[in-house]
Structure 1
């Protein structure tokens, strides 16, 4: 329905050509803006309900003080793998996790894996490259989330969260304790939960719109064949170059996975093509723009740097084993 509305508005009301770069960009902008803002509101409201009934302090202590031997990162990565979100759509859920007091490394494990592994990517890979490549890609995407989340968690970066998020965490914990003490009926809590959810949307809407606008421009105006011309030669620097060139892009698995098949058919090494896809769907400038409301630039830089390094290493490994 959102796509139909975007098509009607852009191609019907605005009269833009669906085959033009401008029409494609504007359509992409309206579709993603509506989808992500709705998702952000719904997830924020859902997390508000969870916070109202779940003793957040107890959950936080369970995840930080119990010796789970790293399984908390695996659980978060597996949850990311079964949620069909792109990098920007994962940000609202990431905000909800952080707001609820879930350890930062665990939330990063989700944020890394969620856009990389989903049913669309696996279906396309299965049809194009067979079971072996599909399994290697899926397992490596989950491991990337686990290892990346663990490394980021060990760095203890909570101090680099934005003051806005720290305030949300304190407010969420206080409200949860008050409601549990008062045993307030759900119907009386709902207006406060919805008001807080709208407050979160209002607090990040500028960053969301800016990020989507940037992604839409890249979606419509990056020429076809641009990346193939730089990645076709099997050079030692092809993997890091693929990742660096991919970061400014913004697309989901459905949009970029078919390109991997084209790249490989035109001589791009498999590992290089997969590293490119990982960077497109897992890291993007629009995602960084949205995360700016949640993190300081230093934390965003650390997150992108760690994940970029692991993607490059994965690309080299794929080129060796595939």
Structure 2
């Protein structure tokens, strides 16, 4: 009994520490990049074109985060004015596709299944993310985040294009095409001109850290509760669940596994060897793939973290999309 409690406490502290450090570091990096390379964001991610979705998926594939670890970068992207549809392409891809997962898939399940996995996920993610862009995304955001957090983020990069965000109109401080000599030193746009920016690196680091830490304090209660739930579930979830309950369910097990996976918190990379071992012991591959995608792509702790930003309607939509992807690929594996 006490051993299990100690394990749960250890898992909680590790998860809390990892997410906290990652959140602050990622927020600082994106704040720096958005200030120094606003044109890069505007060119590659802030537009609502097809290329932005592809680039967001590539970015997600290069950042091997778990479902909760991807939240800090999502938060920073939204504050930088990246459209929600593009952010969703990144958010779904990051925990499910990366070089480590691809290599482990090839070694564990072979090239054919790996190519089916990548192709299926890329096609569905593009379709779903692009579909979200056609909705009035304001209905998904909490009022305080929409009115305060996003406006604050826009103010920090007020020289970006008016087309770069779905949520704001361009700040008047940058509306003039001519900046007179007398206002050059006071304008908010001067920071984007390297010749006019004399801020010391130490001062800039302190500014980015302060901004990130203030944002971290706002989301900390959600991180605390989310990681606590994740550690408890991880500690009490029965290790022989699949052999005991799902092995004989047939195709119905694909649906059950998807809904069970969403309630947990796992890393896809860590689960692949487990999935391989269970399939060799007789659990159908379709059931394991459904559980793997649902558990890695979404989790109850992640939904709690997202509640800081989004309303319940978005959480339901997001979880439903992950479950649909998991069931779809699980059924594909079940019948081929």
Q: TM-score, normalised by structure 1?
A: 0.85
Contact 1:116/1:278 (8 A) holds in 2: yes
Contact 2:45/2:55 (8 A) holds in 1: no
Which residue is 1:185 aligned to? Answer: 198
SS in 2 for 1:170: helix
Say which of 272, 275, 293 aligns to 2:290: 275
Count the aligned residue pairs: 301
Which residue is 1:6 aligned to? Answer: none
Which residue is 2:177 aligned to? Answer: none
Return the offset for 1:228: 3.0
Which residue is 1:158 aligned to? Answer: 138
User: Greater share of helix residues, 1 or 2?
Assistant: 1
Query: Which structure 1 residue ranges, 5 or more long, are not aligned?
Result: 1-15
Distance in 2, Cα, partners of 1:215 & 1:30:
11
Say which of 157, 164, 168 aligns to 2:149: 168
SS in 1 for 2:238: coil
**Structure 1 residues 215 and 241, CA, compared in 2 at 3 Å: closer, same or farther?**
same
Query: Which structure 2 residue ranges, 5 or more long, are not aligned?
Result: 159-186
Which whole-Å deviations, capped at 9, do the CAs of 1:160-213 have from their partners, x for residues lacking one? 212343222211222223542354434354433221111111010110011011
Residue 264 (str. 1) matches residue 279 (str. 2): yes
Contact 1:104/1:158 (8 A) holds in 2: no
Return the offset for 1:304: 1.2
Distance in 1, Cα, partners of 2:30 & 2:144:
17
Which whole-Å deviations, capped at 9, do the CAs of 1:62-102 have from their partners, x for residues lacking one? 7446xx3x232122112111111000000111101111110
Say which of 199, 210, 216 aligns to 1:201: 216
Distance in 1, Cα, partners of 2:304 & 2:255:
22
Residue 125 (str. 1) matches residue 108 (str. 2): no
Distance in 1, Cα, partners of 2:267 & 2:216:
22
Distance in 2, Cα, partners of 1:57 & 1:159:
28
Contact 1:52/1:179 (8 A) holds in 2: no
Distance in 1, Cα, partners of 2:134 & 2:46:
14
Which residue is 2:6 aligned to? Answer: 23
Which whole-Å deviations, capped at 9, do the CAs of 1:45-67 have from their partners, x for residues lacking one? 111112222447982897446xx
Which residue is 2:67 aligned to? Answer: 87
> Could you say which structure has the larger radius of gyration?
2
Return the offset for 1:214: 0.4
SS in 2 for 1:88: coil
Which whole-Å deviations, capped at 9, do the CAs of 1:1-24 have from their partners, x for residues lacking one? xxxxxxxxxxxxxxx98xx42232
Which residue is 2:317 aligned to? Answer: 302
Which whole-Å deviations, capped at 9, do the CAs of 1:86-145 have from their partners, x for residues lacking one? 000001111011111101011011110101113343333222222222222233333343
SS in 2 for 1:289: helix
Q: TM-score, normalised by structure 2?
A: 0.82
RMSD: 2.4
Return the offset for 1:302: 1.2
